[in-house]
A and B are shown apart, each in its own frame.
Chain A
Amino acid sequence: MAVRVVQRPELTFWEKLYLPQIVSGLKITFRHFFRNLFLHIAHKVGRFKHFSAAVTIQYPEELRPLMSRYRSRHRLTLREDKTPRCVGCMLCETVCPAKCITIVAGEHPDPNVEKYPIRFDIDLGVCVYCGYCVEACPEDAIRMDTGILDLAAYSREAMRLDIHELMDPKLRKPIDDCSLEFPHTCEVTGGGMKGSWDGIAGD
Chain B
Amino acid sequence: MIELLVIKVVLAGIVLFAVLNLAGFHTWVERKQSALIQDRIGANRAPIFGFRLLGLFHGIADAIKMFTKEDIVPTGADKTLHALAPFFAVFFALVTFAAIPFGDSIDVGEIPFGDRLNLADPVIDLQVAKIDAALLYIFAMLSLGVYGVILAGFASRNNYAIMGGLRATAQMISYEIALGIAVLGVIMVYGTMDLAELVRAQGQMIGGWIPLWGIVTQPVAFFIFLTAALAETKRLPFDLPEGESEIVGYFVEYSGMKFGMFFLTDFLETIVVACLSTTLFFGGWQVPFLLPDGFHFPWGAELAVPHLVYILLGVASFSIKSAIFMFVFMQIRWTLPRFRYDQLMGLGWKGLFPISVANVVVTAVVLVFLGEAL
- List chain B residues, Cβ under 8 A from A32: 36-39
Q: In the bound complex, what is the Cα–Cα distance between A28 and B39 (angstroms)?
A: 12
Kindly state whether residue B335 has any CB partner on chain A within 8 Å. yes
Q: In the bound complex, what is the Cα–Cα distance between A43 and B38 (angstroms)?
A: 18
B57 to chain A, nearest CB (A): 17
- List chain B residues, Cβ under 8 A from A54: 35, 39-41
- List chain B residues, Cβ under 8 A from A36: 36-37, 39
Q: In the bound complex, what is the Cα–Cα distance between A26 and B37 (angstroms)?
A: 10
- List chain B residues, Cβ under 8 A from A58: 41
Contact B336 A25 (CB under 8 A): yes
Kindly state whether residue B331 has any CB partner on chain A within 8 Å. yes
SS class of chain A's interface: helix, strand, loop or mixed? Answer: helix
Question: Can you list, as one digit per residue, whether each of B324-339 has a CB less than 8 Å from chain A (1) or not (0)?
Answer: 0000000110111000
Minimum CB distance partner of B337 in chain A: A25
A191 to chain B, nearest CB (A): 43
Kindly state whether residue A48 has any CB partner on chain B within 8 Å. no
Kindly state whether residue B33 has any CB partner on chain A within 8 Å. yes
Q: Which residues 257-288 of B have a CB within 8 angstroms of A?
A: none
Contact A53 B39 (CB under 8 A): yes
Minimum CB distance partner of B333 in chain A: A29
- List chain B residues, Cβ under 8 A from A30: 331
Kindly state whether residue A33 has any CB partner on chain B within 8 Å. yes
B347 to chain A, nearest CB (A): 8
Question: Can you list, as one digit per residue, whether each of B308-342 has a CB less than 8 Å from chain A (1) or not (0)?
Answer: 00000000000000000000000110111000000
Q: Which residues 1-56 of A have a CB within 8 angstroms of B?
A: 22, 25-26, 28-30, 32-33, 36-37, 40, 53-56
Contact B35 A25 (CB under 8 A): no
Complex partner residue of A26 from B33, B38, B41, B335, CB under 8 angstroms:
B335
B348 to chain A, nearest CB (A): 13
- List chain A residues, Cβ under 8 A from B40: 54-56
Contact B35 A22 (CB under 8 A): no
Contact B334 A29 (CB under 8 A): yes
Complex partner residue of A37 from B36, B38, B335, CB under 8 angstroms:
B36
Contact B335 A25 (CB under 8 A): yes
Q: In the bound complex, what is the Cα–Cα distance between A166 and B41 (angstroms)?
A: 36
Q: Which residues 352-369 of B have a CB within 8 angstroms of A?
A: none
Minimum CB distance partner of B237 in chain A: A22
- List chain A residues, Cβ under 8 A from B36: 32-33, 36-37, 40
Q: In the bound complex, what is the Cα–Cα distance between A33 and B331 (angstroms)?
A: 9
- List chain A residues, Cβ under 8 A from B334: 29
Q: In the bound complex, what is the Cα–Cα distance between A32 and B334 (angstroms)?
A: 12
Contact B332 A26 (CB under 8 A): yes
> Max chain B CB contacts within 10 Å: which of A26, A33, A54?
A33
Known A25-B336, A26-B335; judge A33-B41 contact (CB<8 A).
no
- List chain A residues, Cβ under 8 A from B332: 22, 26
Question: Can you list, as one digit per residue, whether each of B3-47 has a CB less than 8 Å from chain A (1) or not (0)?
Answer: 000000000000000000000000000000101111111000000
- List chain A residues, Cβ under 8 A from B35: 54
- List chain B residues, Cβ under 8 A from A56: 40-41
Q: In the bound complex, what is the Cα–Cα distance between A56 and B41 (angstroms)?
A: 6
Contact A26 B331 (CB under 8 A): yes
Contact A55 B335 (CB under 8 A): no
Q: In the bound complex, what is the Cα–Cα distance between A25 and B331 (angstroms)?
A: 10
Known A25-B335, A26-B331; judge A33-B37 contact (CB<8 A).
yes
Minimum CB distance partner of A52 in chain B: B39
Q: List 24 A-B contacts (CB under 8 A).
A: A22-B335, A25-B335, A25-B336, A26-B331, A29-B331, A30-B331, A32-B36, A32-B38, A32-B39, A33-B33, A33-B36, A33-B37, A33-B331, A36-B36, A36-B37, A40-B36, A54-B35, A54-B39, A54-B40, A54-B41, A55-B39, A55-B40, A56-B41, A58-B41
A residues at B contact (CB < 8 Å)? 22, 25-26, 28-30, 32-33, 36-37, 40, 53-56, 58
Top 10 nearest A-B pairs by Cβ distance? Answer: A56-B41, A36-B36, A29-B335, A25-B335, A54-B41, A29-B37, A33-B36, A32-B37, A33-B37, A55-B39
4 further contact pairs, Cβ within 8 A, besides A28-B335, A29-B334: A26-B331, A29-B37, A32-B36, A36-B36
